[in-house]
Structure 1
């Protein structure tokens, strides 16, 4: 065992918290899960200024709550080399980096992202030339230079079917040349207590000198996936399902939840204790900058077990009031439709409803002799054949659909389930659906906060992955949710199951 690896290994065996470096850190969803499990964040590298400042606000702040400016400043991983970064943070890294986590940006890997690139470049394979598709390379450079004990990489499922080949396997091949044993799989956040159907690729690698095998946490929740999810998974796994298991020994098939697993956490469980937002109905919802410094009391509904966790998360508890509960000011056309849409309705159904409401109003005006209404005041302009998923009214008794990065520009994909509120979700509601606790702070205004949330790894899922990895490494593991988890003895120290 090399001296560097041996020193790190011995240090965490003695109970010192593993030192965590977060690449492409965003606001810190992955970091929150790992820190809660028992790691110590030495810092993150993030190019987005608001996300970088959020990371510092939550993990590297002074006693007065102000963020450490060194950490808050955005950093471009293509320009900041590992040695330079460690020099800036020498006091945190003098004994090395134990775990590296991160998710290189994914637009070039997603089917939506590829379509946009093709449209812009008029090239059917433009996504292959997108420089963002190569951002896993500097991630590997950091691994090569810093020699962590282990690492975790996250991305969209389509990284396994990118341009006709399995990029996940290629990354594993590079890591194996650097001395790591690798495994990857697809995990859905809903199976781990997150109120959101979010499917993602995860790769775990452990240095071969430790003689340990990478593994993934077992699911703790179960439910029935809606139509389309299984098909999307099969597309992502195309190059794995059609070959033998020995050819893809790095791939771990997603484990099925146990038959006695508790049901998925629902949207209502996540949001029902938050206060209603209805000012827009009375014309009081003014357009303009939506800032995140307001303070609202919680609603009258008692919190569910999940909501209590969001209010009482260790080191990130609620301050006794609600921050960030702000939403978009839209049009009366939209509010009218939101009120009448049924749970689960998508854009084609909303468009058909709008056409019906418009025809009814036209008929009403003709009979009364009033001027005919403008079509644009009733019918949204998007082609229902091209944008089937653009709008969706959430169902209260199901998890939400995937929160996307474009929440920063458009939240119609998550319309509130209560027709009386007839609106899209707020920043705090998006955070709840992503499993960010109420005490977690977001820098910037509404749109940047939405973007940060949509880009994040759900902290509760990250915690499950972190717990599994730390237990495998023999590190001291924190058990911060005594009312929310049960520890089951297994071949290792313990397996934690989220059971709210």
Structure 2
């Protein structure tokens, strides 16, 4: 470990944290903007201890608490489950409410994905101001959450941190937000880098691009590393084009903080497919579901399978979240009209093709019933079968999964509309279920979501895929273990001199 360059308080806190790790204790994580807990789940699997979280959405906060702190007594569990507004909760208050100990020594790793829109219009000067004055964010009327995040970094002084966000932060408002975050972290005593990583290269059955920033305290002397790919393929043209747009300022400016992601090579396996992720879950006929609230109280057994795939095994056997027999949140939206179109859509088809398919079905029915086009009776058949949306607007709003390919990015609007992920099985003719969305996001089957169907879909779409978080967490865990091992002899010699 390099010589401590911080204040005496920083030096003591870092030494105490490294001493804990050198004894083999698990690094302690605080998850800010935690949502349901995708990052927490990946870090826990990698050997970290999830000590607390901060989340403003009540259902997501409850989900996180029940899954990570359900063993606690009633009062403390309630404290973990309480929704919190980060702009109104000071770090010291959070530590006291969650009973985490002293502020300076309570957190080893800080993780989270703060929203970026307001931040992106602030710029470097404001960031430097916040780095020097942790309350400076309060003068910004937009209540900027990235600036607030830096306040928490300054207060907790973690050994390491992880920030996740959408690719737009690389070119938002004509500047590279991630690069500016790196600069702000350096002012706070960290070495930091960022990368644009697609989750499909790391065992997630989903093509999901996100920016990840990793930082370590400078005193640790650790270089920043990002995980090696475990799978390889060529991204579809649309994704490749989107990545090129996202990276335009990175490439143009030669950004010092950017690290290109590892994409592997043809020696690696093809990414996990929709079939790999979903085929062992019980079938649901889209035509069988009626309107009404969806509860998670009906248990559904897995399909019998003589050759269960590796991904499905991982989802069933995740340590601490095992599910041996089946699932209880395998529920879908009512589909009074569109199941007929879903059944005949081609895998990979989008909305224009869905509309054309609906017209074919309507004409077939009209012909069978002796109804001529242009009549009121024909218009009624069309109304019953054909989706009514303009084919020139949002053509990719509908999409039928390809069984042999990873799926497209799951978004938060799953809470309102799952038509972006129509099941590939024509016989079932439906959109994906809550549990299938969780599978595609790599949440294990034993992980429970609070609330009803719509809040659960939203929590899943907002989350970082746990397996993507696990890939990053594994590297961070290795690095911190190495730093603690290096620091232990130094600390021992210091104690001998004293």
Indicate the TM-score class for this superposition, using the shorter chain for normalisation. Answer: 0.7 to 0.9
Match of 2:265 in 1: 258
Determine if the alignment matches structure 1 residue 62 to structure 2 residue 66. no
How far, CA to CA, are the matches of 2:99 and 2:54 in structure 1? 15
Determine if the alignment matches structure 1 residue 342 to structure 2 residue 346. yes
Match of 2:175 in 1: 165
The counterpart of 2:404, out of the listed 394, 397, 410, is 397
Stretches of structure 1 lacking an aligned partner (at least 5 in a row) = 111-128, 478-500
Match of 2:312 in 1: 307
Q: How many residues align?
A: 451
Q: CA contact under 8 A between 1:19 and 1:99: conserved in structure 2?
A: yes
How far, CA to CA, are the matches of 1:403 and 1:109 in structure 2? 24
Deviations 1:11-62 (A, max 9, x none): 2122111110000000000000001111111110000011000001110113
The counterpart of 1:291, out of the listed 288, 291, 295, is 295
Deviations 1:172-225 (A, max 9, x none): 111111000010001111000111101100000001111111110011101121
45-54 vs 364-373, greater mean Cα deviation? 364-373
SS at match of 1:168: helix
Root mean square deviation, CA, Å: 2.3
Q: CA contact under 8 A between 1:57 and 1:66: conserved in structure 2?
A: no
Q: CA contact under 8 A between 1:156 and 1:200: conserved in structure 2?
A: yes
Q: CA contact under 8 A between 2:271 and 2:405: conserved in structure 1?
A: yes
Report which of the two structures shows the higher radius of gyration computed on alpha carbons. 2
Match of 1:452 in 2: 459
290-299 vs 193-202, greater mean Cα deviation? 290-299
Deviations 1:403-455 (A, max 9, x none): 00100000000000100000000000000001100010100000000000000
How far, CA to CA, are the matches of 2:119 and 2:247 in structure 1? 14
Match of 1:198 in 2: 208
The counterpart of 2:447, out of the listed 437, 440, 443, is 440
Determine if the alignment matches structure 1 residue 316 to structure 2 residue 326. no
Q: CA contact under 8 A between 2:274 and 2:402: conserved in structure 1?
A: yes
Determine if the alignment matches structure 1 residue 209 to structure 2 residue 214. no
Q: CA contact under 8 A between 2:162 and 2:215: conserved in structure 1?
A: yes
How far, CA to CA, are the matches of 1:433 and 1:103 in structure 2? 20
Q: CA contact under 8 A between 1:57 and 1:67: conserved in structure 2?
A: no
Match of 1:18 in 2: 27
Q: CA contact under 8 A between 2:358 and 2:387: conserved in structure 1?
A: yes
Deviations 1:303-336 (A, max 9, x none): 211101100001110152212100100222x011
> Map of 1:330-409 to 2, 5 A cutoff?
330-332=335-337, 334-367=338-371, 371-374=377-380, 375-409=382-416
Q: Could you tell me how far 1:476 is from its partner in structure 2?
A: 11
> Map of 1:409-448 to 2, 5 A cutoff?
409-448=416-455
SS at match of 2:297: coil
The counterpart of 2:81, out of the listed 60, 72, 81, is 72
User: Structure 2-normalised TM-score?
Assistant: 0.86
How far, CA to CA, are the matches of 1:216 and 1:66 in structure 2? 39
How far, CA to CA, are the matches of 1:476 and 1:15 in structure 2? 12
Residues 475/421 of structure 1: CA separation in 2 closer, same or farther (3 Å cut): farther
Match of 2:242 in 1: 232
SS at match of 2:158: coil
Match of 2:495 in 1: none
190-199 vs 257-266, greater mean Cα deviation? 257-266
> Map of 1:24-39 to 2, 5 A cutoff?
24-39=33-48
Q: CA contact under 8 A between 1:12 and 1:475: conserved in structure 2?
A: no
Q: CA contact under 8 A between 1:57 and 1:65: conserved in structure 2?
A: no
How far, CA to CA, are the matches of 1:90 and 1:464 in structure 2? 29
Match of 1:470 in 2: 477
Q: CA contact under 8 A between 1:270 and 1:433: conserved in structure 2?
A: yes
Stretches of structure 2 lacking an aligned partner (at least 5 in a row) = 5-10, 121-139, 485-498
Match of 2:60 in 1: 51
How far, CA to CA, are the matches of 2:141 and 2:279 in structure 1? 42
Q: CA contact under 8 A between 1:346 and 1:393: conserved in structure 2?
A: yes
Q: Could you tell me how far 1:337 is from its partner in structure 2?
A: 0.3
Determine if the alignment matches structure 1 residue 272 to structure 2 residue 279. yes
Residues 222/351 of structure 1: CA separation in 2 closer, same or farther (3 Å cut): same
How far, CA to CA, are the matches of 1:439 and 1:82 in structure 2? 31
> Map of 1:115-154 to 2, 5 A cutoff?
131=142, 134-154=144-164
Residues 108/410 of structure 1: CA separation in 2 closer, same or farther (3 Å cut): farther
Residues 476/286 of structure 1: CA separation in 2 closer, same or farther (3 Å cut): farther
Q: CA contact under 8 A between 1:161 and 1:239: conserved in structure 2?
A: yes
How far, CA to CA, are the matches of 2:74 and 2:426 in structure 1? 38
91-100 vs 460-469, greater mean Cα deviation? 91-100
Q: CA contact under 8 A between 1:23 and 1:46: conserved in structure 2?
A: yes
Residues 430/108 of structure 1: CA separation in 2 closer, same or farther (3 Å cut): farther
